Structure 1
Amino acid sequence: MTDRLRWGILATGGIARLFTNDLTLNGFTVQAVGSRSREAADAFAAKFDIPTAHDSYESLVADPEVDVVYVSTPHPMHAASARLALEAGKHVLVEKPFTVNAREAQELADLAAERGLLILEAMWTRYLPHMVRIREIIADGTLGELRTLIADHTQRLPDDPEHRINALELGGGALLDLGIYPISFAWDLFGAPLTVQTTATFKATGADAQIATIFGYDGDRLATTLSASHTLGPNTASVLGTDARIEIDRVWYTPTTFRVVAPDGSVLEEFRSDVTGRGMHFQAAAVERLVAEGNLTGDVLPIDETVAIMGTLDAIREEIGLRYPGE
């Protein structure tokens, strides 16, 4: 690979801190950070020993020392923030969910292609070692014919109406914050669903509190997901095949353990993750590799697939009657 890319961090919230910590722990070059607040930018730069702090997103993306921008603004600002970076000639990694709808996602994909730049969704789970191994096991045929995916992403988050998770104007709700994980996993294993069935319950703010989906595919395959912001569940996942199954332990979308289990209960393989930090740097390594290769469409999670997943989320919201302000 060529020389390491120089990262710029756009926004300084909790996820940005987790991502930047993983970058610094694993030898990546974090060159600059940008915030709408000088105080926040300076504090973030000091915490992670970042050379340059910018007091606006515009000055961050204009920084000639920055090659790639990581966007971690609230969901409804993802599209505008990513557009800002693309128009400044930077490659972009956008925190999930990529945008709030497929229209915005397609506009970003088109702009990146037009400018000859890479834009990817930061679905970090796809790049984790245990997920890489799971895809290998499935490709090897160990499970036989795939039949079913079962996954939940359930957390007990604040009920405060002002909290981001409950604020529709911030894209709050279980679907975009939590459901994106198991839904993207279903896409990873099975591709585009032929049928989508959804049931949801809502909070007083109008945000979805819990949402259950059933995706149907050809070949007698199903994927079921449950996501909730008001109840903490097992956060495990299972992949069922005709010859064996994979049991992914809590928390399935972070570095964890899994077992491949035969129908008689014998364990065919056990995998344990060995990761420095949280594991969010694997997606950054993919960005750097793709840029070095000149691959501006992606491979583990191609940009066209990200756009299509946003289309599935749109279909889910249409079924349950969920709209965000401004749409």
Structure 2
Amino acid sequence: MAELNWAVVGPGEIAHQFARGMQDLNRKIYAVGARKKEKGDAFAEAYGIEKVYDDFDALFRDEKIDVVYIATPNSNHYEFMLQAVKAGKHILVEKAITINSAELLAVQAVAKEKNVIVAEAMTIFHMPLYKKLKEIADSGRLGKLKMIQASFGSAKPSDPENRFFNLELGGGALLDIGTYALSFARFFMTEKPSEILTTVKKYETGVDEQSGIILRNEKMEMAVVSLTFRSKMPKRGIVAYENGFITVEEYPRANQASITYLNGEQEIVTAGDSNAALSYEIQDMEQSILTGTNKTAPLTEDVIAIMTNVREQWGIQFPFEKR
């Protein structure tokens, strides 16, 4: 496959991590798009980028661009995704990929017509550790899956104006950190959940501040997810099987896990590098483009469907979302 020309839309902090990941792989970014040209210029200078756009329509029309990495706030994802795929660009989009299932399905329909790949930059689906843990689980030596626990707590300053609590920007713990916990749970569940129970405490702006979510599928596998934006909790995931349980600390970018067996014996499993998380996403995206298949798409669809269902139960709707 010839070298792909990448463009970055939204040169914020996560985009800087992406650019460093590209450098680690000896890849070059061809273009960057930013609402403020000076921000785009600074990003381009830092990473040796040839083209700078403050007109996103012009960026998407650039025939030299093959792939667009979208790293804007949640509220802009759908608009930019649709523009990009209509222009025949492959897209890698920061989590959460869309606000709801209707948006994702709409983009996927156009992508299918244009024969382009749509993928989410969800670290859990790309880290080597998880591929190794899945192989262990699929081997059957741990027995049947029974229960998953995933917690994520982040102590955000109480500020109605910042993006974490801003309804206009798609704020709330669910879309920001819940997507990790739910992706962790769905990754290990052998099929999508059929039952979703939840409770929520809302922030003064109307977004979710903390919540509990219980999932169950037809195989009676269950998951319990705990989220909060107002206190610190460990990013710990536990996957319990008949013959033992897997524990993953700092699970969003983990490179190590432990397996504890019923007799108390413990096995340490290691794979990958936490610092290379975005490099793995880039490599998987390139492989998806090469093969024409995004293997993580069904997982992404299920997680977005769960979050859509949960917000409907909470009665939280963003003013910009498409349904």
Give the TM-score, by structure 1 length. Answer: 0.94
- In 2: Cα distance, 1:166 partner to 1:59 partner: 32
Residue type of the alignment partner of 1:310: I
User: Once the two structures are superposed, what CA deviation does each residue of 1:130-165 show, in whole Å capped at 9, x if it has no partner?
Assistant: 111111110111211110111112111221111100
Task: Report deviation, 1:107.
Answer: 0.3
* Structure 2 portions without partners, runs of 5+: none
The answer to whether the 8 A contact 1:255-1:278 is kept is no
Residue type of the alignment partner of 1:325: P
User: Once the two structures are superposed, what CA deviation does each residue of 1:270-321 show, in whole Å capped at 9, x if it has no partner?
Assistant: 12344273411212111111211232xx11x12x443332221111011122
The answer to whether the 8 A contact 1:129-1:255 is kept is no
1:287 alignment counterpart? 285
Residue pairs, 1:1-327, within 5 angstroms: 2-190=1-189, 191-249=191-249, 251-267=250-266, 269-275=267-273, 277-295=275-293, 298-299=294-295, 301-302=296-297, 304-327=298-321
- In 2: Cα distance, 1:305 partner to 1:20 partner: 26
**1:144/1:100 CA distance change after superposition, 3 Å:** same
Residue type of the alignment partner of 1:158: P
* Structure 1 portions without partners, runs of 5+: none
The answer to whether the 8 A contact 1:142-1:244 is kept is no
Task: Report deviation, 1:75.
Answer: 0.6
- In 1: Cα distance, 2:271 partner to 2:71 partner: 26
Q: CA RMSD in A?
A: 1.5
User: Once the two structures are superposed, what CA deviation does each residue of 1:47-83 show, in whole Å capped at 9, x if it has no partner?
Assistant: 1222222222222222233210011111121010011
The answer to whether the 8 A contact 2:246-2:260 is kept is yes
The answer to whether the 8 A contact 2:253-2:274 is kept is no
The secondary structure found in structure 2 opposite 1:110 is helix
User: Once the two structures are superposed, what CA deviation does each residue of 1:182-236 show, in whole Å capped at 9, x if it has no partner?
Assistant: 1122222223111100011111111111111000123332101111111111111
- In 2: Cα distance, 1:278 partner to 1:164 partner: 26
Task: Report deviation, 1:326.
Answer: 3.6
The secondary structure found in structure 2 opposite 1:166 is coil
- In 2: Cα distance, 1:17 partner to 1:292 partner: 25
Residue type of the alignment partner of 1:156: A
The answer to whether the 8 A contact 1:34-1:59 is kept is no
User: Once the two structures are superposed, what CA deviation does each residue of 1:105-125 show, in whole Å capped at 9, x if it has no partner?
Assistant: 110010100111111111122
The answer to whether the 8 A contact 1:148-1:239 is kept is yes
Between the aligned residues of both structures, percent identity stands at 29
Give the TM-score, by structure 2 length. Answer: 0.95
